[in-house]
Amino acid sequence: MQRRRLRVWLVICMVGIMVLVARLAQIQLISTESFSKYGINLLEGSVSQRTQEMVIDNGRGNFLDRSGKPLIYERIPVLILFPFLNYLEWPVEEVASAIGVSEREILESIEGADGPIAFGNPEPYLLSEREMTAINELKIPGVFAVERKYPLSNTQAEQLIGITGENSKLLEERYGEKEFSARTLVGLSGLEESFDEFLVGEGKSKLVYHVDGIGSPLFGINVKYSEPANPFYPINIKTTIDKDLQERAENLVDKHQIENGGLVLLDIESNNILAMVSRPHLNRKNPFGDLGVENQMLKQHIPGSVFKTVVAAAAIDHGLTLPSRTFNCNENIYGKEDPNFQHGELNFTQSFAKSCNRTFADLAKELKAKDAKIIEDYAAKLSLTGSVGWTGTVFHTEKFRQLPDEDFGRVFKNEEARDDNNYVALSAIGQHEVRVTPLAIANMMATIARGGGKQMVRAVESVEYQNGSKVFGFDENKLPGDSISPFTAQKLQKLLREVVVDEEGTGRWFKELPYSVAGKSGTAETGIMKDEKQNHNKWFAGYFPYENPKYALVTVNLGVHSDEGGINPLFADMVKEVYTFDQEN
Which of the residues are catalytic? 305
Q: Where are the alpha helices (DSSP H) in 269-404?
A: 308-317, 348-354, 357-370, 374-381
d(CA 438, CA 551): 15
Burial class (CB in 10 A: 0-12, 13-18, 19+), 147: middle
Which DSSP state fits 406? P
- 192-223 burial string, b = 16+ CB within 10 Å, else e? bbbbbbbbbbbbbbbbbbbbeeeeebeeebeb
E strand or H helix that includes residue 192: helix 190-194
Evaluate whether 479 touches 388 at the Cβ level (below 8 Å): yes
Question: Cis bond leading into 545, ω under 30°?
Answer: yes
E strand or H helix that includes residue 263: strand 261-267
Q: Where are the alpha helices (DSSP H) in 479-530?
A: 486-501
Strand partners, 40: 35
Q: Residue 333: name the closest of 363, 294, 289 by CA.
A: 363
d(CA 19, CA 38): 21
d(CA 437, CA 268): 18
d(CA 149, CA 227): 14
The Cα-based distances of 313 to 70, 321, 442, 499 in angstroms read 42, 10, 16, 15
Judged by phi (left if over 0) then psi (alpha if -120 to 50, else beta), residue 234 lies in beta
Q: Residue 134 corresponds to which amino acid?
A: A
Q: Residue 153 corresponds to which amino acid?
A: S
